[in-house]
Structure formats: structure tokens, C-alpha cells
Structure 1
Amino acid sequence: MALKGKKVIEFAGLAPAPFAGLVLSDNGASVIRVDRPSASTLDVLCRGKRSVAVNSKVPSGRELLKRLIVSSDVLIDPFRPGVMERLGLGPDVFLGKSGLNQRLVYARIVGFPRTSSYKDMAGHDLNYLAMSGVLSMLPGSAHKPNFPLNLLADFAGGGMHCVTKVLLALLERNESDRGQIVDVDMVSGTRYVSASPLIHRSNPATGRFASKRGTNLLDGGAPFYNIYLCRDGGLMTLACIEPPFFGVFIEKFIQALPGHSVLSDEWRDFPALAAQADRKLWPRLKQFLTIGFASRARHEWTDIFFETDACCVPVLTPEEAAQGFGSSDDPVKDISGPCLLNPGQHTKEVLTAELSVTEDEYERLLNDSAIGQC
């Protein structure tokens, strides 16, 4: 629990901000989510967090938020540029020359870059992924790419990238005793986590992403880096890029074909091993593998390639993966239901225990509609 003793204020937002707070919470930080008193939320990324409901439109509510932030190490701002400043809670209030908390790491997550002409526009993961240039490289049909849920922009380029920068800022604070603004935008973050394919794309000589979508090594073009349907409807992944691994795979694959039934005269002399290095043979190799995988059930192929270097494993459902690979200390092992946090669930607990708010003051805040509780 490396972040034990660190206090994080997370203003309620969508995917990237609560995910950043979740990662910090899972590693020991005390994370307090700030909700609006009238809010209803379906945020499931709440493990280990507490919620206070504060009305930022009421002067006493804004002052309460200042007190919370002054006592914290990290603030996560999920809003569009300028929102926190209009509330009187911008970074200058805390990190300026006479700032109230000059050790604060003030993390701001936005969608489009703050200096771009798109900065004031609404958007979501798919929009940021599109503007990053990465979406155009993802697998799909010849006419359009597919997208990987909302993982790349929201969670990798947004939430996890934010966590990385927050941790670096906390490390730097150990030397300078000063906090700093941490700026994250999901377009730039997506480009950063996609550095490898983007570099390959700009250097065609590497051969990784030089051709049209769906014809490259890692985007579905290579038959030995692909997904195949089994007889029972299950799926197997194949990722034997290195020739020795492909050699292990193809030997066991051909041996496992039931009675060599798919090796008709059409395929009997097909040079499967040599086909890996010959792109002209890739379509034929993919057809050969497709026919072969369809001859057995997923569990049979799983057993055949288990404990080998064939790089061939089954596609598991989330439930199967949690059952088979979730360790006793894995926080995501139990996927039976969401971890919900009611807005204002811990308002009184946090304010009285951590800000020394008295009973009388608490009642005044309630009467002033500055806070909410549930």
C-alpha cells in the first residue's frame, strides 16, 4: 500500500477520473469523491472510496471544498477547461504565490488538448481515439476500423496516464516540497500509449504497419497473429510471431488434425511452415488454419497447446478469466456485481472526522443546502 497516508479529492466525473481515483485507492490512498447533493450515479469504479455531497454553488459549500482540498495531497479535476476556475477552485488558488496548499498535485483530465481549437467541445473516448490518429490503424474491415470498447482513450490514455503523472509529481514533491499542475488530455494520452504502432507507421521500413488496415502483422493481416473459431463456437488466439514458436505451433497443429481429415489433396503439399515468411501465402495459410481450428472444440485445442511455446490459448469470458487467474489479493477477481457508492454516503463521517466540523456547523451546512447526505 505505497500510497497509505495520501489523501485524494476526486470530483465526480466519467470514466478516466474515477478510474484514476480507483488505482490510487487500490494502492492505499484515501480517496474522497465529491458529488453534487442531488446527484445520482452509476459509477462502478468506487472500490475503497468515500463520498461527500457538497453544493459548490453555495458560498459555504465552496469554502468547505477549499478546506477539503487544503488538507489533501492530490486533486482530480474531470471538468472542461475553466470550470474549476469559475468555482473559485482553480489551481492558482492552491498553487499560486500565496496558494492555500502549495504541496498539492492538481491533476486535470480533459478530452481534447487544452491548446487545440477543439478544447471547449464535448466528446467521448471514440472521438478522442479518432483525433489521435490511432483509430484509423485499428483492425476492422477495409472500409472502417473497429474500436476496443472505451479502453484506449478513457482508461489508458486518460485514467492510467493520469495516475502515472500523479505518481511522478508526488516523487518530485519529495525533492522540491512543492506540488504542481498535472495536465492530461485523452487525445495526447492515446498517442502516448500507442507510441509503438505510431513509430512503426512513420517508419515503413520496419514492416509492422506499412500497409493498408488488416494486412499488417498485428492488425489481423498475419494468420499466425489472429483469432480462430472452434467447432463448438469457442475461440482460440494465435500469436506465434517468432519462427521457433510458429514451428512448435504448426507441428502440434498438424498432428492434432483429426485423422488428418482436413489435409485433402488441396492441402497435402501446402508449405505451412514456410508460409509464415511469405506474405503472398498468408491468405492460404489463414484458410488452412481456419479449417483446422474448426475441426476441434476449444477445450481440445486448449489441452493440445497447454504448456507449449505455441502461443496459442483460448479466448476466455470475464467470468472464466476471474475464476482461472484471479489471485487472492486481486481486487478485480470478484466481478459478480458493481461496487456502487451513494452520493453523500460519507458526508458526515468525513467532515466531522477530518475537518473537525462540529455538530452545530454541520447542521448549519445542511440548512444552507451546502451539503447533502444519504
Structure 2
Amino acid sequence: MPGPLDGLRIIEFAGLGPGPFACMMLADHGAEVIRIERPGGTKGGPESDARTDILLRSRKRIAIDMKSDSGKAVLRDLVATADGLIEGFRPGVMERLGLGPDEMLLLNPKLVYGRMTGWGQTGPYAQMAGHDINYIALSGALHAFGRKGEKPTPPINMMGDFGGGAMMLAFGMVSALLHVQRGGDGTVIDAAMTDGSALLMSMIYSFHGQGWWKDERGVNMLDTGAHFYDVYETRDGKFISLGPIEPQFYARMLELTGLADDPAMAAQTDPTKWNEMRDKLTKVIAEKTRDEWDAIMTGSDACYAPVLSLTEAPDHPHNQSRATFATAGGVRQPTPAPRYSSIATTPPEMPDGQTHARQILADLGYSGGQIEQTLAQGGVS
């Protein structure tokens, strides 16, 4: 069955990271996403081949010289038929190309124009270069990641690029598209990774405001300060995760680790005892291999999971049972999420190295002669 976004056309201006991820999500859920690339093609990331870049899956691709007359004509025709547009350039770049929101919304008043940046379209930092690590530093998020007494540890680029950036943009696009479908006008979405990563910290800001989250790393319940919310090394040098916050789950964890009768482990929520209890738990966990703990803990309410590597995770029985990973184009990759009970997501389809210029132009209503003429002019391929 068609996906929930079936029938929507999104124009994507090629970029890296969060923009492509947002477009991947929209394509995963049924939208037709047409990726505009520079002549000669676009790599998906540093030293990468677009044919193996998961973020570029399930798209139509066309190469357009945005400075050529023929290229601009095709772009305008595409935008005129589109429901949404996504770009991730520094503020002002699209305006200088004559493709800014004012021009595009004049051409298509119902257009949802999504803009993905790190700092946002306005503010003192708006024109500065930056990356995920910088954006989450400014929002207060990076300060919270790390162990006690250690410097902040970037959570790779999950929080700024993808959580605070791409997913916020995808949510904004769907929200604005729904607004248009209900009779509203098109709009511009200013999706900034600083804003998004700050929003992701809402619960922590709430806890801090309530007085029970210290503005320090590694001393709170969820930041490795508590012994019952941490990772532990096993005898074979692997790791397991434990997170039994609720008293009944904590009690079950103590039973399975053989520490239920140790009076020193009873003061679960007393921060002054956390280090002592962590030492005991560390020693016990180190006595068995990860597989041995897996056999003991799996199926229980101890709030346990093995810490799996990127090569291990796709083969885990739970992930296999839910088809959490699939192989497409020879590339093993996560499948679309979330799932729906009565509508389908789009099975991953990797780029084949070819553009879809002829098909896209035909879909726009170009005749065979017009297609050949447009391609011959060299601005579109």
C-alpha cells in the first residue's frame, strides 16, 4: 500500500548530513523526493560513493547547473509542481541564486520551504561555519555528555545533525504540509541545529530547574553518575548496559547479579553511595562474559541489553525479528521507522549512479523534443 506521504513531491538541493537524512525520512514514508545535484554528481560524504550512501536512498536524481538558463527553467518548473523544498546552504546563498523563499513562494504560494542550518537564518552566529559539535556546544547539550571529572564527550553527530536538525526539519515539513492541506498558505521553515538540540534537552533543563539535576557531568542519574544507569565491562572485554531505575527493576537486577543480599546495595537512590555500589557491580559483571550475562538477563525486567557493535546489531535476534535492518544495493542498512499498522513504508533503494533527468522532465509534461532540447543545452543531465 502507498506510504503516508504518498502523492507529495519534495525538491531536495544536494547537501550533506541532516538535509539528506530529513529527505530520506520523507522518501521512506512515501514522498517523491527529487534530489537536485550539481553537474558531475554529488558525493554523499567525505570520500564516499553516492551508490553506498544510505542517506541518499529512495530518491530520483537530476543534475542541474543552477546558473544556466536551461537549468533555472527546469528548476522553476519543478518548484511550481512541488509541495516542499529543502535546502541546507548558508543563509543568503539561495537568494543570490534567485531561488530564495520570496521568489519561490511567489511562483508557488503553497510551497513549504525548508531551510536546514546549524545556527539558524538569523543571529550573531548565522554566517559562521560550524558543525554538530559547535551547535550542541552552544545549546548547552554538549556540556552534559561525559563522565565525572572528564571533558565533554561529543555523542558523535547524533544530537545536532540528526536529532536536533534532520528530524526537527522532517517534523516541521510534515506539520507545514498538513497546514497547507487544511487550506493554509505555504511557509518557510527555519530549522537550526542549535534550536533543535536545545529542545531535545527539555527534560534535562526541566530537571535542572526543579533542583535535582546538577549542572555537572557524570553526577546525575542518567549521565553515568548512578551505578544503576551505566555500561559495564564483561570478562571478555565486551560491555552490557544496565538501566533499572524503578525499584522493582533494580531489585530484579540485584537478584540476577547475586547482590540482592548485600546491604550495601540497598540505598539505590543515595548519590553518596553510588561509587561504592558501582565498584561492587563492576566486580561482579567482570566475572562473566557478555554471552553469559545475556543468558542470565535476557527475558527479565532487569532493564538489560548487550552493547552491540555496528557489525553485531543487524544479526541480533530481536532486530532480525523486526526486520530492523535490510540489505539494498549490497549495503546493509537500517529500515524505515516508525512502522504503521495499515500503510507501508518504502523499501530502501540505493542510487545506481544514474540520474533520472528524462523521467523527471517527462513527468513535468515536457515533450520528447523538449526533453532532447533541454538536455542538449547542457544545463540539465
TM-score by length of 1: 0.89
Equivalent residue, structure 2, for 1:18: 20
- Number of the residue aligned with 2:197: 190
5 Å-filtered alignment, 1:258-337, equals 270-323=262-315, 324-326=317-319, 330=323, 332-334=325-327, 337=331
Matched, 1:364 2:373: yes
Offset of residue 197 of structure 1: 1.1
Name the CA shift for 1:141/1:58 in 2 (closer, same or farther; >3 Å).
farther
* Aligned residues: CA RMSD: 2.1
2:326 maps to amino acid: K
CA apart distance, 1:316: 1.6
For residues 88-103 of structure 1, the aligned pairs below 5 Å read: 88-95=98-105, 99-103=106-110
Paired amino acid for 2:112: V
Partner of 1:180: 187
Cα deviations across residues 239-283 of structure 1 (Å, max 9, x unaligned)?
Answer: 011111111110221179xxxxxxxxxxxx852432312222111
Q: 1:102, CA displacement in angstroms?
A: 1.2
Q: Which one of the candidate residues 333, 348, 352 is aligned to 2:358?
A: 348
| Displacement of 1:345 | 1.4
After superposing the two structures, state which structure 1 stretch, 330-339 or 227-236, moved more.
Answer: 330-339
Structure 2: unaligned runs, 5 residues or longer: 45-49, 333-348
Query: 2-side partners of 1:326 and 1:345: how far apart?
Result: 33
Describe the superposition over 1:267-313 as per-residue Cα deviations: whole angstroms up to 9, x where unpaired.
Answer: xx852432312222111111101110000011111111122111122
Q: Secondary structure at the match of 1:371?
A: coil
How many angstroms does 1:367 deviate by? 3.4
1:1-374 aligned within 5 A = 1-42=3-44, 43=50, 44=53, 45-95=55-105, 99-140=106-147, 142-204=149-211, 207=212, 209-254=213-258, 270-323=262-315, 324-326=317-319, 330=323, 332-334=325-327, 337=331, 340-341=350-351, 345-352=355-362, 354-372=363-381
Q: Indicate the SS of the match to 2:146.
A: coil
TM-superposed CA distance for 1:211, in Å, is 4.9
1:190 partner letter: S
- The AA in structure 2 aligned to 1:277 is T
Q: Distance in 2 between matches of 1:331 and 1:180?
A: 35
Matched residue, 1:262: none
Contact 1:169 1:179 in 2 (8 A): yes
Tell me, in whole angstroms, the C-alpha distance in 2 between the residues paired with 1:146 and 1:310: 27
- What letter matches 2:314 in structure 1? A
The 3 A distance-change label for structure 1 pair 272 and 254 is farther
Sort the Cα spacing of 1:131 and 1:342 in 2 relative to 1 into closer, same or farther, 3 A. farther
Q: Is the 8 A contact 2:142 2:152 kept in 1?
A: yes
Give the TM-score, by structure 2 length.
0.87
Q: Which one-letter code corresponds to 2:206 in the other structure?
A: I
SS at match of 2:300: coil
Whole-angstrom CA distance in 1 between matches of 2:331 and 2:304: 31
SS of alignment partner, residue 19 of structure 1: helix
Distance (Å, rounded) in 1 between the aligned partners of 2:324 and 2:84: 22
What secondary structure does 2:73 align onto? helix
Cα distance in 1 between the residues matched to 2:275 and 2:147 = 16
Gaps of 5+ in 1: 257-268
Deviation at 1:177? Answer: 4.2
Please state how far the C-alpha of 1:360 moved relative to its aligned partner. 3.1
Equivalent position of 1:265 in the other structure: none
For residue 123 of structure 2, what is the amino acid of its counterpart? S
Moved more, 298-307 or 21-30: 298-307
Alpha-carbon distance between aligned partners in 2 of 1:255 and 1:129, rounded to the nearest angstrom: 39
Amino acid paired to 1:365: T
Cα drift, residue 334 of structure 1:
3.1
CA contact (8 A) 2:265 2:277 kept: no
Worse overlay, 57-66 or 26-35: 57-66
The 2-side partners of 1:275 and 1:214 are apart by 19
Residue type of the alignment partner of 1:300: E
Partner amino acid for 2:94? M
> Following TM superposition, by how much is the alpha carbon of 1:175 offset from its aligned partner in structure 2, in angstroms?
1.9
1:154 and 1:186 in contact (8 A); partners too: yes
Range with bigger deviation, 99-108 or 339-348: 339-348
Equivalent position of 2:342 in the other structure: none
